Structure 1
Amino acid sequence: MWGSYCDGVLEKRAPYRQAHLDGLNAQKEAGTLITIGPTKDIKMVFGIYDAEDEDTVRKLVESDPYWQNGIWTEYEIREWIQAL
């Protein structure tokens, strides 16, 4: 998953950050989320999920407080094949 952050993300995310992190930790514990994080310039987010299908990942992204409150402004999912 590649996504974009809103302008002023560091200030705007504050009210939603703990709920966001709690949800990500639950996904990680369930084995669905492999890793996620921002680019160094905090303009984009990148995540790797291990899910049955794209719809499962969309549901996870769209239930995240960052998506629901406009911190993530857009996203796209690309199926990835691990070569090595």
Structure 2
Amino acid sequence: MAKYVLWGSYCENALEKRTPYREAHLQGLQAQKDRGILVALGPTTDNRKVFGIYEADDEATVRQLIEADPYWQNGIWTDYEIHPWNQVF
């Protein structure tokens, strides 16, 4: 499986706006983690960016997961980039 890095941005006031979607978001992430697709994900300390590492068959799979997430669907994540990653260490 290939590895991919996610870099995305949060909306303004994300901590307040995410509240109605947070539980569904976390449950979805846990399901991805349980399936071995999501390696790690979380915000930067200033809560402006999100960073994640995925292991998936292809980039399209990662995009589908991101765009199905309640944070993306409800504007908490405002944009994202996916980069194939060559893990050396």
Q: TM-score, normalised by structure 2?
A: 0.93
1:44-68 deviations in Å (ceiling 9; x for gaps): 0000000011000000000000000
The correspondence for 2:23, drawn from 18, 25, 32, is 18
Alpha-carbon separation, structure 1, partners of 2:74 and 2:87: 32
Q: TM-score, normalised by structure 1?
A: 0.99
What is the RMSD of the two structures over their aligned residues, measured on CA atoms? 0.4
Bigger strand fraction? 2
Partner AA of 2:26 in structure 1 = L
Alpha-carbon separation, structure 2, partners of 1:18 and 1:31: 20
Alpha-carbon separation, structure 1, partners of 2:18 and 2:84: 28
Alpha-carbon separation, structure 1, partners of 2:33 and 2:88: 23
SS of 1:41's partner is coil
SS of 1:77's partner is strand
**Structure 1, unaligned runs of 5 or more:** none
Partner AA of 2:84 in structure 1 = E
Q: Which residue of 1 aligns with 2:3?
A: none
**Structure 2, unaligned runs of 5 or more:** 1-5
Q: Which residue of 2 aligns with 1:77?
A: 82
The correspondence for 2:40, drawn from 19, 22, 35, is 35
Alpha-carbon separation, structure 2, partners of 1:33 and 1:3: 15
Count matched residues.
84
SS of 2:56's partner is coil
